Amino acid sequence: MSDKRVRVRFAPSPTGGLHLGGVRTALFNYLFARKNNGDFVLRIEDTDQNRYVEGAEKYIIDCLNWCGITPDESPVNPGQYAPYRQSERKTLYREYAERLVMQGHAYYAFDSAEELDKNRKEIPNFQYGQVYRDTLRNSLSLPQPEVDQLLADHTPHVIRIKIPADQTVSFTDMIRGRVSFETNQLDDKVLLKADGMPTYHLAVVVDDYLMKISHAFRGEEWLPSAPIHLLLWDYLGWKADMPQWAHLPLILKPDGNGKLSKRDGARLGFPVFALDWEGAAGFDGMGFLPEAFVNFLATLGWNDGSGQEIFTMDELVSKFSIDRISKAGAKFDFEKAKWFNAEWIKRSTAETLHPKVKAVLESKGVTIKNDAYLATVIDLIKDRCTLLTDFYPQAAYFFQTPAEYDLAAVKPKWTDEKTAFFKAIIEQVKSTPTIVAADFEATFKALAEEKGLKTGDVMLPFRIMLVGGKFGPHVFDIAALLGRDETVSRIEQALAAFA
Partner RNA sequence: GGCCCGUUCGUCUAGGGGUUAGGACGUUAGAUUUUCAUUCUAGAAACAGGGGUUCGAUUCCCCUACGGGCUACCA
Look at strands 330-331 and 251-252 and give their pairing.
parallel
The answer to whether residue 190 forms part of the interface with RNA (CB under 7 A) is: yes
Q: Looking at the DSSP assignment, which residues form a beta bridge with residue 181?
A: 169
Ranges within 385-444 binding RNA (CB under 7 A): none
Ranges within 68-87 binding RNA (CB under 7 A): none
Of the candidates 262, 364, 445, 451, the residue annotated as catalytic is 262
- Which CB, 349 or 370, lies closer to RNA? 349
What mask, x for binding RNA by CB under 7 A, covers residues 441 to 460? ----x--x-----xxx--xx
3-state secondary structure the chain: CCCCCCEEEECCCCCCCCEHHHHHHHHHHHHHHHHCCCEEEECECCCCCCCCCCCHHHHHHHHHHHHCCCCCEECCECCCCCCCEHHHHHHHHHHHHHHHHHCCCEEEECCCHHHHHHHHHHCCCCCCCCCCHHHCCECCCCCHHHHHHHHHCCCCCEEEECCCCCCEEEEEECCCEEEEEEHHHCCCCEEECCCCCECHHHHHHHHHHHCCCCEEEEEHHHHHHHHHHHHHHHHCCCHHHCCEEEEECCEECCCCCCECCCCHHHHHCCCCECCCECCECCHHHHCCCHHHHHHHHHCCCECCCCCCCCCCHHHHHHHCCHHHECCCCEECCHHHHHHHHHHHHHHCCHHHHHHHHHHHHHHCCCCCCCHHHHHHHHHHHHHHCCCHHHHHHHHHHHCCCCCCCCHHHHHHHCCHHHHHHHHHHHHHHHCCCCCCHHHHHHHHHHHHHHCCCCHHHHHHHHHHHHHCCCCCCCHHHHHHHHCHHHHHHHHHHHHHHHC
Q: Which stretch binds RNA (CB under 7 A): 62-70, 72-80, 223-231, 280-288?
A: 223-231
Q: Which stretch binds RNA (CB under 7 A): 75-83, 180-188, 236-244, 367-375?
A: 180-188
- 239 assigned to active site: no
N residues, the chain: 499
Q: Which stretch binds RNA (CB under 7 A): 110-118, 206-214, 233-241, 283-291?
A: 110-118
Ranges within 3-62 binding RNA (CB under 7 A): 11-13, 15, 45, 47-48, 50-51
The answer to whether residue 307 forms part of the interface with RNA (CB under 7 A) is: yes
Ranges within 316-335 binding RNA (CB under 7 A): 324, 326-331, 333, 335
Number of C-alpha atoms within 13 angstroms, CB side, residue 43? Answer: 31
Q: Which stretch binds RNA (CB under 7 A): 143-151, 185-193, 432-440, 489-497?
A: 185-193
Provide the minimum distance between the beta carbon of 37 and RNA in the complex, in angstroms, as a whole number: 26
The answer to whether residue 167 forms part of the interface with RNA (CB under 7 A) is: no
Q: Which stretch binds RNA (CB under 7 A): 98-106, 218-226, 236-244, 432-440?
A: 218-226
- Which CB, 11 or 435, lies closer to RNA? 11
Provide the minimum distance between the beta carbon of 478 and RNA in the complex, in angstroms, as a whole number: 9
Q: Which stretch binds RNA (CB under 7 A): 58-66, 220-228, 364-372, 491-499?
A: 220-228
Provide the minimum distance between the beta carbon of 387 and RNA in the complex, in angstroms, as a whole number: 12
Amino acid at 362: E
The answer to whether residue 346 forms part of the interface with RNA (CB under 7 A) is: yes
Look at strands 168-173 and 177-182 and give their pairing.
antiparallel
Using the rule CB under 7 A, which residue among 104, 258, 355, 365 binds RNA? 258
Ranges within 471-490 binding RNA (CB under 7 A): 471-475
Amino acid at 186: L
Provide the minimum distance between the beta carbon of 472 and RNA in the complex, in angstroms, as a whole number: 5
- Which CB, 308 or 370, lies closer to RNA? 308
Ranges within 260-279 binding RNA (CB under 7 A): none
Provide the minimum distance between the beta carbon of 369 and RNA in the complex, in angstroms, as a whole number: 26
Amino acid at 184: N
Using the rule CB under 7 A, which residue among 208, 220, 284, 291 binds RNA? 220
Q: How far, in Å, CA of 180 to CA of 303, rounded? A: 27
What mask, x for binding RNA by CB under 7 A, covers residues 129 to 158? ---------------------------xxx
Using the rule CB under 7 A, which residue among 28, 84, 128, 171 binds RNA? 128
- Which CB, 182 or 362, lies closer to RNA? 182
- Which CB, 4 or 51, lies closer to RNA? 51
- Which CB, 269 or 433, lies closer to RNA? 269
Using the rule CB under 7 A, which residue among 77, 185, 312, 321 binds RNA? 185
- Annotated catalytic residues are 262
